[in-house]
Structure 1
Amino acid sequence: MTINNDIEVLVIDDDQDVVDAYQQLLEISGYKACAITDPTLALSMLHRNWPGVIVTDMYMPGLSGMELLEQIKALDPDLPVIMITGHGDIPMAVDAVRKGALDFLQKPLQPNELLALLDKHLPVRQQQIAQRASLTQSAAELLIGDSPLMVRLREQITEVALTTKDVLIEGAHGVGRHTVARLLHQKSDLGDGPYLTTAGDSVQCTADLQRSMIAARGGSLCLMHPQDMPQETQKWLCRFLLEQERLNKKEVRVLAVVEGAPEVQVEQDKLLPELFYFLSQIRFQIPSLKQRNCDILPLFRHFLKQSCQKLSKAVPLIDKAYLNTLSRYEWPGNVLELKNVAELYAIGIVKLAGQERTKPLEQMSSPLDELVDSYEKQVIEDALYLFAGRINDVSNYLQIPRKKLYLRMKKHNLDKAEYKVRT
């Protein structure tokens, strides 16, 4: 049995007469309701982004209300559950609230009390699901790629972005750490507040960080390389985060960005263990472009199209050999480097690993032997640029034996070493 997103209230009680009464009450009150008597069916009817409220009895054969609550919270901690309990079971109801239930009602049920709770909690849930949908779309637009690592990263972002928890964002330069940080800020409850970026090496004393915290109040502080701050300042930040946690009052959300393994920085006494603990309760590890090789070409095409739209020009054809070269390259500068290459390609410059040409290579229409001599040098040189001086690849591309290629290169004073990839 399945339940669709049109259902606003799911009622669970083992007494058929009771669920019939609930169903009638809710439908008369304008709610789209579904009522069942078997609690074991509930999980198959729900999903993480179901936009409704669950109302369940506490005592049921086969699966108790408390057991069902635990299973629902495992599916989505934010799924709203209202417990219905008998007279005298207040301690159990309070325990249910402690374990994640929104509220509880006592039998005999007062219809106005139930309707009041639904009026209160249903709009909140529906707004939350709308925010998740917006976040999912934004993440897909900003964090492009279908590799498993990127799919998981986007899922992780949608799971925690709507909270105000502090996070640790790890990854090499150019992988998109700042994109993730800004997305986490914009989609959180603090998204209307300020977003401030501060580098750890620019924080010379605690007063510097305190001024940044004041400027970021009501918003987020993107803290680059916190291990570069003085240890006394790191200790102050620990106390600040602890006080926010103790008071359950978030004045500033800290989005810490690090390069390399933070555990190593702890071992080297650069990052305080207690600060690492506070920041690492939620960790985002942004993969390098080399780790998600299958995303290289979709990213290149995306950035190329984006650049051409800005330039109001048609997207140029891309030679298959050049795409193969892009896929084989290791991209030490990650997404940032790939974006730069795509932007240059859009204006007619082929660039890879420090090499530049003034126009993209054209598809070879015939073997090299049939081309005129005046064009021969340019064709060979372009191929050397394209394949970074790798003679086997150049020979295959130009449809010419290696020996003959070397003779032609000697004729035109071309040295393959001049075209090697420089990193």
Structure 2
Amino acid sequence: MNLAQRADVANSDAPESPRLLLVDDDPDLLRLLSMRLRASGYQVDAVSSAEAALAHLAVRPPDLVLSDVRLPGRDGLALFDEIRRTHPGLPVILLTAHGSIPDAVDATARGVFGYLTKPFDSRVLLDKVRRALDVSAPRALNVGENSQAWRAEIVSRSACMNEVLEEARMVAAGDASVLIRGASGSGKELLARAIHRASVRANQPFVAINCGAIPEALLESELFGHVKGAFTGASTAHDGLFLSADGGTLFLDEIGDMPLPLQVKLLRVLQERAVRPVGATRARPVDVRIISATHRDLDAAMHEGSFREDLYYRLNVVRLTLPSLDARREDIPLLAGHFIHSLSEKYGKTIHGFAPEALEMLVAAAWPGNVRQLYNVVEQVCALTTTPLIAATLVQRALRTPAVEVLTYAEARQRFEREYLTQVLKLTGGNVTDAARLADRNRTEFYRLLQRHTLTPAMFRLADEADDVAATGRP
């Protein structure tokens, strides 16, 4: 076997590199992109229209499609719709000019893997292509016994929560920005972490910050970093959270509380994919996926002018809404049991669970603080309990509800009978015949009931006569 034959054999055993289909009517850009991608080891087919792309797909399906949004004839969005219909698993990346960003954002919400704004950096392009190809390949996380590993921290069996989690799993496969809506304490950060773990960025950093908990003067430095000497007290350089999360996910909690001046700077970072630390003269490239969350109504804030519209559309590519705990009450026993398991270890106690009455109180209670409030209540009763089963009195105390008198069936029945007989005799002025008729009982049985409760008709006749005297002023 000669050298050429040996080379052919080696090449036949090597895995074939991914094939990309480029669609753009700009011949110069098409040629430049083809050169860059081929130099990175990809096979590239290039066409100038959506019709040519569809013809190519029918003959030789690629592993990924990169298409301009604005094309002659059928545009890139129509091409994407057709690809999704005929090749639903094929990832698509859209190339957009600034004027077509809203269209691209809309398409991302419908299933496009992502979009790049022209002009874009080669490194960003290659990284986006790599991530899209990774997502299109089978992932161990989605099969076998690890299928639920990504959402392990979220304890739920309710239908409404499972719908949100299924949406989150699908969103995780792409790289679109996600906005999580939900009341305080409903678990927005847990959902953000779950999305990160289910994504191709799972092995990279997950960094979280509460935008409403840090003063505006410090928030800029915390997000974007600063150089040494940038301001009084900046004795050393600080990278900031964007750079700390490079390659991974940055979670911006309570984004609705971010001051307007910082909203402008955040928008610039998202547009340029580069961050300039405070006091620096040069920007540094950064690659992060943004997941943001808020309990505020950003639509209303945007219309009031307290939240920028352009930033809103950048962040709100995909929206997920977490239900309140009141909307998923079937999860309360499950969550309470889950919390007991960890808290019993923390407090060094043997706790088997809640007494039935205690659990009923938890399920029936109002939970304005959602899952966070439930955790606090369970922790308080775990700290105070001296028995393996947590008593209802401890739950009542933790919930700060007024004392509830619990009667036996016999006691409740006796109380009802006495109150009923009293009302009937008051109504008839102590006339037993009339009272028995109203109660649908004979006089003998009615008298036995009066004796059982130590009631006499005269008590009510006297009361009735006293009322008459009071009304007329005469005895």
Shorter-chain TM-score tier:
0.5 to 0.7
- Could you say which residue in structure 2 is the equivalent of 1:302? 338
The two structures, once aligned, show a CA RMSD in angstroms of 4.3
Distance 1:168 1:273 in 2: 14
The answer as to 2:424 corresponding to 1:388 is: no
- Mapping of residues 36-75 of structure 1, within 5 Å: 58=59, 70-71=84-85, 73-74=87-88
Q: What residue in structure 1 maps to residue 223 of structure 2?
A: 209
Contact 1:296–1:327 (CA under 8 A) maintained in structure 2: yes
> Matched residues in 2 for 1:190 and 1:344: separation?
37
* Amino acid aligned to 2:249: S
In structure 2, the residue corresponding to 1:128 is in which secondary structure? coil
CA 230–135 in structure 1, closer or farther in 2 if over 3 Å, else same = farther
Larger Rg: 2
Q: What is residue 251 of structure 2 aligned with on the other side?
A: 222
How far apart are the structure 2 equivalents of 1:215 and 1:384?
45
* Aligned residue in 1 for 2:156: 145
- Residue 142 (structure 1) shift: 1.6
- What is aligned with 1:129? 139
Q: Cα gap change, 1:135/1:221 in structure 2, threshold over 3 Å: closer, same or farther?
A: farther
For residue 180 of structure 2, the aligned residue among 169, 193, 199 is 169
Deviation at 1:148, TM superposition (A): 1.8
2:297 maps to a residue whose letter is A
Alignment pair present for 1:180 and 2:191: yes
Shift of 1:193: 2.9
2:135–2:200 contact (8 Å) kept in structure 1: no
Shift, 1:194, TM fit: 2.9
Change (3 A) 1:285 1:397: farther
TM norm structure 1: 0.54
The partner residue of 1:241 within 244, 248, 270 is 270
Q: 1:172 to 1:237 in 2, by over 3 A?
A: same
How many angstroms apart in 2 are the aligned matches of 1:221 and 1:67?
Answer: 30
User: Residues of 1 paired with 2:151 and 2:288: CA distance?
Assistant: 27
- Report the Cα distance in structure 1 between the residues aligned to 2:153 and 2:244, rounded to whole angstroms: 27
Q: Which amino acid aligns with 2:402?
A: G
Q: Distance in 2 between matches of 1:197 and 1:243?
A: 21
Decide whether aligned partners of structure 1 residues 256 and 311 sit closer, same or farther in structure 2, where only a CA change above 3 A counts: same
Between the aligned partners of 1:383 and 1:361, the Cα distance in structure 2 is 7
Tell me which residue corresponds to 2:357: 321
Cα distance change, pair 250–72 in 1 and its aligned pair in 2 (3 A): farther
Q: For residues 99-145 of structure 1, give each alpha carbon's deviation from its aligned partner in whole angstroms, at most 9, with x where no partner exists.
A: 99xxxxxxxxxxxxxxxxxxx9xx96796331334874134422221
TM-score, normalised to structure 2, is 0.49
Instruction: Specify whether residues 73 and 153 from structure 1 end up closer, same or farther in structure 2 by C-alpha distance, changes over 3 A only.
Output: farther
Q: Which amino acid in structure 2 is aligned with residue 361 of structure 1?
A: A
Separation of aligned partners in 2, 1:151 and 1:159:
13
Aligned pairs, how many?
A: 279
Q: Which residue of 2 aligns with 1:200?
A: 211
Unaligned stretches of 5+ residues in structure 1: 1-28, 30-55, 60-65, 80-98, 101-119, 351-356, 363-380, 406-423
Letter in 2 for 1:306: S
Partners of 1:383 and 1:171 lie apart in 2 by 26
Task: Give 5+ residue unaligned stretches, structure 2.
Answer: 1-12, 14-56, 61-79, 93-110, 113-129, 226-239, 275-284, 417-475
Tell me the distance in 2 between the aligned counterparts of 1:218 and 1:262: 28
Contact 2:382 2:390 in 1 (8 A): no
Rounded to whole Å, the distance in 1 between the matches of 2:161 and 2:396 is 34
Q: What pairs up with 1:325-336 in 2 under 5 angstroms?
A: 325-336=361-372
- The equivalences for 1:76-115 within 5 A come to 76=89
Q: For residue 232 of structure 1, what is the amino acid of its counterpart?
A: P
Q: Which residue of 2 aligns with 1:283?
A: 319
Residue 58 of structure 1 and its aligned partner are, at CA, apart by 4.7
Please state how far the C-alpha of 1:207 moved relative to its aligned partner: 5.0
Q: Percent identity?
A: 23
Q: What amino acid sits opposite 2:258 in the alignment?
A: M
Residues 23-63 of structure 1 show CA distances to partners (whole Å, capped at 9, x for unaligned) of: xxxxxx9xxxxxxxxxxxxxxxxxxxxxxxxxx9659xxxx
Structure 2 partner of 1:361 = 391
In structure 2, relative to structure 1, the CA distance for the partners of 1:67 and 1:359 (3 Å cut) is closer
How far apart are residue 261 of structure 1 and its match?
A: 1.7
Q: CA deviation at 1:258?
A: 0.9
Give a deviation string over 1:39-98, Cα, whole Å, max 9, x none: xxxxxxxxxxxxxxxxx9659xxxxxx999643544x4559xxxxxxxxxxxxxxxxxxx
Q: C-alpha deviations, 1:180-229, integer Å up to 9, x for none?
A: 12222333333333333233243437555322323332222221223333
Letter paired with 1:278 = R
Offset of 1:317 from its aligned partner?
4.5
Question: Residue 302 and residue 207 in structure 1: after superposition, are their counterparts in 2 closer, same or farther (change >3 A)?
Answer: closer
- SS for the counterpart of 1:325 is helix
